[in-house]
Amino acid sequence: MILKTGEKIHVITRRNFEGDMRRHFIGEVIEASGSLARVAGYAFVLDNMTNHYIRRPDKRTRIISLADAANIINLLPENADIELARYSQSKESKMIVTDGKSFTLDINEFGLTR
């Protein structure tokens, strides 16, 4: 298995079209089998009016496909606190996700080219 119970992940769902909603998910793997993982955590959606990611208040359990090209999956450090995860801008004006303590992940879609 590529993912193990207890690992924390950040999932970006690729957009098919320019107008598609930007959706992310941060959670902890409850169970993994083959190319599927059951993950409990929080959904984040980009608010186009404010250009900020908003966390849905309810904790959700999702089945994530590791083989689906629409999913970009990042492993988070084991001490990452998903309850505190939030989006903000870095000093370099890049979009990051952080728990404010143990991890910061640059999620800039364009990398260093812009």
* pLDDT for res 82: 93
Q: Is 86 contained in some domain?
A: yes
Number of domains in the chain: 1
- pLDDT higher than 60, residue 111: no
Q: For 28-57, how does the pLDDT look when each residue is reduced to its tens digit (9 = 90+)?
A: 999 999 999 999 999 999 888 887 889 999
Q: Is 2 contained in some domain?
A: no
- pLDDT higher than 80, residue 7: yes
Are 35 and 60 a contacting pair, CB within 8 Å? no
Q: Is 89 contained in some domain?
A: yes
Are 59 and 35 a contacting pair, CB within 8 Å? no
* pLDDT for res 10: 95
Q: Is 1 contained in some domain?
A: no
Are 57 and 71 a contacting pair, CB within 8 Å? no
Contacts of 101 (CB under 8 A, 6+ apart): 81, 84
- pLDDT higher than 80, residue 15: no
Look up the domain containing 73 and give its range. 8-113
Say whether 1 sits in a helix, a strand or coil.
coil
Q: Is 3 contained in some domain?
A: no
Q: For 55-95, how does the pLDDT look when each residue is reduced to its tens digit (9 = 90+)?
A: 999 999 999 999 988 899 999 999 999 999 999 887 777 88
Residue 3 Cα distances to 24, 28, 32, 94, 105, angstroms: 18, 10, 6, 28, 19
Say whether 84 sits in a helix, a strand or coil.
helix
- pLDDT higher than 60, residue 113: no
